[in-house]
Every structure is written in structure tokens, then in C-alpha cells.
Amino acid sequence: MSTAVFALLRHAATVWNQEKRIQGHWDSELSPEGAADAARWAETLAGMGFSRLFVSDLARARATAGILNLRLKLPMTLEKNLREQKFGEWTGRRVDDLRGHGLEEQVARGWEFRPPGGESRLEVFGRAERTLCEAARLWPGKKILAVTHEGVVKALVYRLLGREFLPDEKKILKPATLHWVRVSDGRLELGDINVPL
């Protein structure tokens, strides 16, 4: 029986996050505030019994994990399938600049939201689910901190809650929190969400 427990953590804030610019598979540096947040989170995370860091290979997630690991000192595995949703032609654009240019129509598609040249939210969920299941087989019985992106966290949590990912649904995920997922024999089960750091 391959069982593992994952705590999903969104990377610390970046310069582009502050500018409300879409990053997708591109990167910007952590903001000074983001770097300070990650150092503070590390103190809380150090007492939680993690055995490994499982990290998106994008630079903002790696930078966050690097700051955390100054304190945690855990083995770290990089994983491209924990990357943010691919935003295609919208990468680098500000969200406000896309209003009236197809954004609202895409958002109304829920799980089928797909930026031009990008991937759908359903595809993000699929690759994240497969990746966590494979990690549970590789590291059975472990408690793993997964440093990833908002799109990945939302895809996993929303799918496991049965949400439609539509704009009229209440926002439920809070910043600077952990979201727990248990994987047992290829099945994902959602635990506590919004656990503060």
C-alpha cells in the first residue's frame, strides 16, 4: 500500500505577483516581502515533521524552497509537473489588460478555462494528480512539503471539493497557508485546508 501525505504550499510572492502580471511558465524574482515571508514560514514548517521537499522546477518555487531549506535541511526533488498552468499568449500580461479581450469568456468555462496557446485547468489537475500519485509510490509513508503554484493548488483542492471553478463560486483559499492531501493507492483525499503558517 503506497500512502503519503502532502502539504501544498504556494511559492512566496514575486515582483510580478505584486504587479498582477501573469507568470505561467515564466518567472520573476521573489519580492523582498516574499523572501521575508518564506524565511518566517520556515520556522513554523520546521516543527511539522516533513521528510522531503517536492518542488516545481520554476525559479520562484525553487527560490522559495531554497529559503525554506536553509532551516529545514531536507532532500529536495524538482518536478516540472508541479509547474503553474501554462498561460500561452497571456504570459507576461497584466490581468486588467485582458478584460474585454477574452478573459471573461475563458473564466466562464470553469475547468475548461484555457488561455490561447495554454493548457486547461483540467489538464493542470491531471498532471498534478499523476505526479502526487507517483511521488506516493516513490516515498511511501512520508510527509512531504510540495512547493508549487496557485493554479496547481486550486486545481487539486477545487477538484477534490467538487467545485465547478466558476467565477460566482466563493473564493476559499487563503494566502500563506498549507493545504493537506493524502494519497493512498492512487486515490487523493483532501485534508485540512488554509492551515496558517
Q: What pLDDT, on the 0 to 100 scale, is given for residue 102?
A: 87
This model's pTM is above 0.95: yes
Beta strands in the chain, from DSSP E residues, in sequence order: 3-10, 52-56, 76-79, 143-148, 177-184, 187-190, 195-196
Mean pLDDT value across residues 40-60: 98
pLDDT at 178 over 90: yes
The domains located in the chain, with CATH, are 3-196 (3.40.50.1240)
Mean pLDDT, the chain, rounded, equals: 96
How far are the Cα atoms of 4, 17, 54, 59, 145 from residue 51, in angstroms, in the given order?
Answer: 11, 29, 10, 22, 8
Which amino acid is residue 149, in one-letter code?
A: H
Grid-cell match 532551516, residue found: 71
How far are the Cα atoms of 6, 94, 105 from residue 9, in angstroms, in the given order?
Answer: 9, 24, 29
| Cell (9 digits) for 104 | 471573461
CA atoms of 141 and 49, how far apart (whole Å)? 12
pLDDT in tens, 162-177: 999 999 999 999 999 9
Q: What pLDDT, on the 0 to 100 scale, is given for residue 113?
A: 97
pLDDT at 20 over 70: yes
Q: What pLDDT, on the 0 to 100 scale, is given for residue 1?
A: 64
pLDDT in tens, 52-80: 999 999 999 999 999 999 999 999 999 99
Q: At what angle do helices 121-138 and 150-161 cross, to 10 degrees?
A: 90
C-beta separation of 178 from 8 below 8 A:
yes
